[in-house]
Each structure stands twice: as structure tokens, then as C-alpha cells.
Amino acid sequence: MTSRPTPYALRATALGKRFGRRGAWALRDCSFRLPAGRVCAVVGPNGAGKSTLLALAAGLTTPSEGEVIVLGTDPASARARVGYVAQDKPLYPQLTVAETLRLGADLNPGHWDPSVAEAVVRAGELAPGSRIRSLSGGQRTRVALALALGKRPELLLLDEPMADLDPLARHELMGTLMAQAAQYGTTIVMSSHVVAELEDSCDHLLLVGGGRVRLAGEIDELTEAHARVSASAETADLTGHTVVESRTTGRQLTALIRPDGPLPAEWRTASPTLEELVLAYLRNPRAASLTPAEPADRAGTTTKAGTGNATADTGAAA
Amino acid sequence: MTALTDERAVTAPSAAPRAWGTARTVLRLHRTALLLWVAVVAGLSGWLVWLTLVTAPAERAAIDCAGEDFCDSTVPGLGFGTPVGWIGMLVAYAFLAVAAFAGGALIGREVESGTARLAWTQSVTPARWLAAKLAVPALVIAGGMTVLVLVFRWSWHSDPHLVFEEWSGAAPFLARGPATVAYALCALAVGALTALLLRRALPALGVSPAVMGLLNLALTRLRPSLWPQVHRTSATVVVTPEHAWVLDEGALVHGRPRTGVPYWNCGGAPAAARRCLDDLGVTGYYASYHPQSHFWPLHLVETAVVLAVAALATAAAFAVVRHRTR
């Protein structure tokens, strides 16, 4: 992995955005830190604020409150080092594939690696002379990704990148992205509402719901910090632990908890899968959020506390 | 494949190629509009050259009555004057098409379809993107407009007997000087601003020509006041110079200008006419007008006003982009 000037690719502090002076908040009080070199999944239901968060990081809109630091600087100054693919993959329909890549070269002087972009296009067997308007949705996604990767970004922001790709192309493009991340240490942030799509490739999670960050941290640490327990409903006492979700069926109590201390031996416990974890939090909007604790901030600046209470040991950025 | 492989070399990030890259991108994106504009400029110029070099001499020969017993010179130069008038109209109001292009295709479509965001997430800042989007078309439009104005002037002045529109007519007034270029540049800026504010192509396509039309209408109304008029009073009816743009004339009733005095009804013998005028209270006559020599002052003041509006619209467009993306 290449050395980096800042330990964090993204750092948000009380970030908020609303559209219009009296509009609803698309994102509110959002604080998290994403260490550089991670592949981060931004997960959440539709309309949760994922796209807003990525657009703020890309410098396409300005925050209504708080700030976001991208690669150690403001989003506008980081522009040349950040790749961004919007959800609807906008491209110029009147250009050909080759002309689109030439546009990438012209608009990214000193940052453009034509071989990377060409390789992505070639893998999709796209003719350089075909017009963008004649391409299918998946082919356009490929060209949009080629344009973003050709820039050789340090941070790649992808909004629902795989939504309209067939499974084969999805697998192949995900492989390209992971190779990019491994070879150049690129930080990748990709949003999706399909958790299974991200489980294998991502090592960091940002769960956004209702315009707030619900979970943030390394996926391993997050799943380790939680336990799926089942016990007898009559004897089990969950007090002392943070309960995300609990359900009683007959005499059986099943719950997803954040244990605070050792659990009784008679309880059956298991580590939740990422999907179980995400679904449990999304089903229970009142469950306490888990975001990285303050002492992990290596830059030395003390930031305002994020949403909810944060457990001190989890999510500490490595 | 060859088209792809010749891009191997990574360009050096010096200032010149950076600007060239964005300019090249703008030209590539609006190639069709560029070709259409070149065709329009070449077509109209060619038509004017043909009218001046081929049609005009033939017309002159037709109305040249020397040596003929009878000839009809009541409708002189229709074959020349009419098309030149129409071309003047097209040149003068070309800014409406520029406004529609700038609002719709140049900026509106980009903002609506999200390709503006694609451009803004490359390495050039949104402000530089807007600068290229305005500067490249501005150069192309100003160049084409200058050619059209020069060719139109040459045609117009080639034979004063064959044109039958006055210099003060709305279209010939604009088409014979830099105001046309100024209007086109203003339309570009206003179109860009409208599209950035409305964020939609179709509304911007409609609204920006409407705004420019209103600006033109207002300035056409104000035009006589853009330079001091000549006011003349006289004991006899004021004889205005040839080709003067007469704005007001009438009789002085007890020394005060008054409109609607039917002094023209007083005729007959001088004594009778005098008595008739005395009954009406007519003590003299007045006229307000712009002589033909006022063309350039009037034209240049209007050009300056339009350029000022263009500068304001450009500044506002940059402010909108900066405010939105910082």
C-alpha cells in the first residue's frame, strides 16, 4: 500500500444537507471517519441520504452545516484526486466511446492513464467507435467507470455502481475495482441497498438511515461487537446490554445485542452476518447508533460527538 | 482501436494544454452546432455577395431610364432591397437563436442530464468548465457575427438607391454595427444564467430568448433617448435634413409645442392661410429628430448597455456555479 499524507480518506463532522431553506434534511448530524485504503460500503434504504453524502464528498453540493474533509482537504481542492460515478451514470450521448475517453484525457491533464481506461472498456468488448446513446445501461456503466478509473483517483466514490449490470459484468467489474484498490491503495466508497452485493468485497461499513449514520466501522469489528442470542424468555435478562432488536416467540427470546460484558453460558450466541446486522438496525430506527469514538481522531482536532452514544473500543480506526 | 491507442502519452499538467483540453472538449461536444453556425454564416454572406455583385447591377440596369422614352421606376430594386432587408432581419435577430442555444443545448441539457456533474468531477473546476463553455462559443459567435455585419454593411452601402429601409429601422439599425455582436454575446451569457437557474433544458430554451426579446424591446423603445436629440423651432415649417429620424414634429401654439393642431388644413391664398393659422394660434413650428450622423453615437451607446448586461449575466452565472459547488 502506498504511503498517504492523511490517515483518513473521508472525515465528516456534524455534516448536514437540506435542499431549500425550509426543505427536509437529506442528511443530518453525520459524523464518521473512513481510513484511507479501505473499501467502504455505504448501505441504507432508498432516500436515506447515500447519494447526498457522496455528492457532498465529490464537491458537487455544499453542506448546509458541518464539514467533510476529503483526502485531508476540502472537496473542491481534492477534485483532481477523486473519482465519482453518479447513480444515473451521465455521459454525453453524442460522443463515441473513444471520444468520451479522450474527454477524460482532456479534462484530467496530468492525471490520466489511458491504459487503465482502455482496459476497462476493452474488457466489455465495446467498440471505440460506438456512440454512447447506442449503448445499454450496463455498457454505459462500464464507460462511466472507465472514465472514473482512468483518472487514477486516490478516492473513488461510486453511487449504486452495479445496479444495472448483469451478474457476469458485475463480478468482472468488481474484480477490476478490487485490483485497482489493491494495486494503488485506492479508497473506494460505494453505495448500495443490496447488502449481499458488498459483503465479500468491502471491509468497512457506513450504514445510513433516516439521514443519519447508524453504524460506522470495520465490518469485522462491527459484527464482533454484536451477538445474536437466543435464550429462554422467562430467565433471560438483557439489561446492561444494548439491545438492537429482540423478539419473543413462545418461550424463546431471540435478540441482536451489543454485549456489555460476558454473556451467561446458557445463552446460545452467534456472530451476526452483515446482512442480519444491517437489517436489524434498519428495522429498529431507535436502536442506539454505533460510530467511531473520538480518541481515534489522529489529526488531533476534537470533533463534536456523532449521533447516539459510541462505544469506546469498537470502530477505532486502525 | 487506433483512435484509442494514440492517447498513450499522459499530458503534462502545464497551463496551456489544460486550457486547450477544456476548449477542445467544448468544441467536440458542440460540433453539430458549430458546423450549423459556419453553414449559416457562409450561406448568408454568400447570398449577400451574390445579391450585391449579380442582382444589384441587373436591377440598376432595369431602372436606369436614361435614353428611354418610358420606364417604370416606381418599384426600384425589389429584387435586391427585399432580400437584403430579410437578411438584415436575420442578422439583427440572430441573438434570439443564440439565446435558445445557450439556454437549451449549451448549458441546460448538461445541467438537466447530469453531464455537468460529470464534467465537474473531472480535474477542472466548475468555474473553469463554465469559462470554457462561455469563451469558446463567444469567440465562434463573435467571429461569425462580425463577418455577417461587415458583409451586410458592404451590401447595404453598395447602392443607396436600391435599399428602401431607413437607417433608423429596427433591423438595419442593429445589423450595421457591433450592437449585433454585443446582443449575441449577451444572449450567450443570459442563456447560460437562465439554464443554471432553471436547471432544465426546455424551460431555459424558451425563457432565455424571451428575456433577450424583452431586453431588445426595451432598448428599442429607449433608443431615441440614448443620445441627445436635435430640437428645432422655426417660424416656418421645419425642414428636417434628408434621412433624418424624425421623432416628433408639429406646430407651436402661442410658443408652446402642441400636437394635433390641424395647421395643414390652412391653405389657399397666403393671406387666408395666415388668418387660418392665427385663428389656430399657430406661432411657429418644431421638430425633434436624430440626423443620420447620430447613427454611431446611438449605436455605440446601445452596444455599451448590452455589453454591460452581458457582463452582469456572466458574473451572475459564475456566482451561481461557485455558490453551488464552492
Do B129 and B199 share a structural domain? yes
A198 close contact with B: CB closer than 8 A = no
Contacts B325 to A, Cβ<8 Å? 59-62, 76
DSSP string for B152-187: HHHHHHH-TTT--S-TTSHHHHHHTSTHHHHHHHHH
Do B271 and B126 share a structural domain? no
What is the ipTM score, two decimals? 0.82
User: Is B235 a domain residue?
Assistant: no
Do B189 and B111 share a structural domain? yes
Query: Which residue carries 430506527 as its cell?
Result: A285
pLDDT band of residue A238 (cuts 50, 70, 90) is confident
Instruction: Please name the residues in contact with B176: beta carbons below 8 A apart, sequence gap of 6 or more.
Output: B88, B149, B152, B153, B156, B167, B295, B299
Q: Nearest by CB to A90, which of B4, B24, B113?
A: B113
Q: Please report, as a single letter, which amino acid is at residue A191.
A: S
In this predicted structure, what is the pLDDT of residue B8? 39
User: Across the interface, do B123 and A86 touch by the CB < 8 Å criterion?
Assistant: no
Alpha-carbon torsion angle A247, A253, A257, A259, nearest 10: 160
Ordered structural domains, chain A, with CATH: 8-219 (3.40.50.300), 220-283 (no CATH)
User: Across the interface, do A59 and B121 touch by the CB < 8 Å criterion?
Assistant: yes
User: Across the interface, do B4 and A114 touch by the CB < 8 Å criterion?
Assistant: yes
Top pLDDT among B129 and A260 is at B129
User: Is B236 a domain residue?
Assistant: no
Pick the range with the lowest mean pLDDT from A27-41, A194-208, B312-326: A194-208
Q: Nearest by CB to B118, which of A74, A91, A114?
A: A91
Residue A134, classified by CB atoms within 10 Å of its CB into exposed (0-12), middle (13-18) or buried (19+), is exposed
Do B260 and B123 share a structural domain? no
Q: What φ, ψ does residue A248 adopt, rounded to 5°?
A: -115, 120
Total number of domains in chain B? 2
Contacts B125 to A, Cβ<8 Å? 76, 79
Q: Is the pLDDT of residue A318 over 90?
A: no
User: Is B264 a domain residue?
Assistant: yes
Instruction: Please name the residues in contact with A290: beta carbons below 8 A apart, sequence gap of 6 or more.
Output: A214, A215, A216, A217, A222, A225, A258, A308, A310, A311, A314, A315
Long-range contacts of residues A16-19, Cβ cutoff 8 Å, at least 24 apart: A16/A63, A16/A64, A16/A65, A16/A66, A17/A49, A17/A52, A17/A56, A17/A61, A17/A63, A17/A64, A18/A64
Do B251 and B108 share a structural domain? no
Contact yes or no for A187/A9 (Cβ under 8 A)? yes
Q: Is the pLDDT of residue A309 over 80?
A: no
Do B249 and B216 share a structural domain? no
Q: Is the dihedral of CA B24, B25, B26, B28 positive or negative?
A: positive
Residue B183's domain spans which residues?
22-61+76-226+295-325
User: Is B71 a domain residue?
Assistant: no
Residue A176: all three cell numbers together: 477490476
User: Across the interface, do A60 and B7 touch by the CB < 8 Å criterion?
Assistant: no
Instruction: For residue A113, list its beta bridge partners.
Output: none
Do B180 and B38 share a structural domain? yes
Residue B191, classified by CB atoms within 10 Å of its CB into exposed (0-12), middle (13-18) or buried (19+), is buried
Q: What percent of chain A has pLDDT over 90?
A: 41
Report helix angle B15-29 to A97-107, nearest 10.
Answer: 150
Contacts B22 to A, Cβ<8 Å? 106-107
A76 close contact with B: CB closer than 8 A = yes
In this predicted structure, what is the pLDDT of residue B65? 63
- Nearest C-alpha of chain B: how many angstroms from A230? 49
User: Is B238 a domain residue?
Assistant: no
User: Is B14 a domain residue?
Assistant: no
User: Is B16 a domain residue?
Assistant: no
Question: What is the pTM (predicted TM-score) of this model?
Answer: 0.86
User: Across the interface, do A79 and B123 touch by the CB < 8 Å criterion?
Assistant: yes
Do B147 and B128 share a structural domain? yes
Do B208 and B92 share a structural domain? yes
Contacts A151 to B, Cβ<8 Å? 122-123
Nearest CA in chain B to A111: B10
Go through B208-242 and write b for each residue having 16 or more CB atoms within 10 A of its CB, e for each that does not.
Answer: bbebbeebbeebeeebbebbebbeeeeeeebebee
How many whole angstroms separate alpha carbon B23 and alpha carbon A69? Answer: 31
- What's the mean pLDDT in A251-263? 87
Contacts B12 to A, Cβ<8 Å? 109-110
- Residues in chain B with pLDDT values less than 50: 1-13
- A/B interface, count of CB pairs below 8 Å: 111
Do B259 and B305 share a structural domain? no
Do B282 and B166 share a structural domain? no
User: Is B7 a domain residue?
Assistant: no
Pick from A85, A107, A189 the residue to mutate for testing the B interface (most B CBs within 10 Å): A107
Q: Nearest by CB to A107, which of B12, B122, B323?
A: B122
Do B320 and B190 share a structural domain? yes
B143 close contact with A: CB closer than 8 A = no
In this predicted structure, what is the pLDDT of residue B16? 59
User: Across the interface, do B4 and A147 touch by the CB < 8 Å criterion?
Assistant: no
Residue B55: all three cell numbers together: 442582382
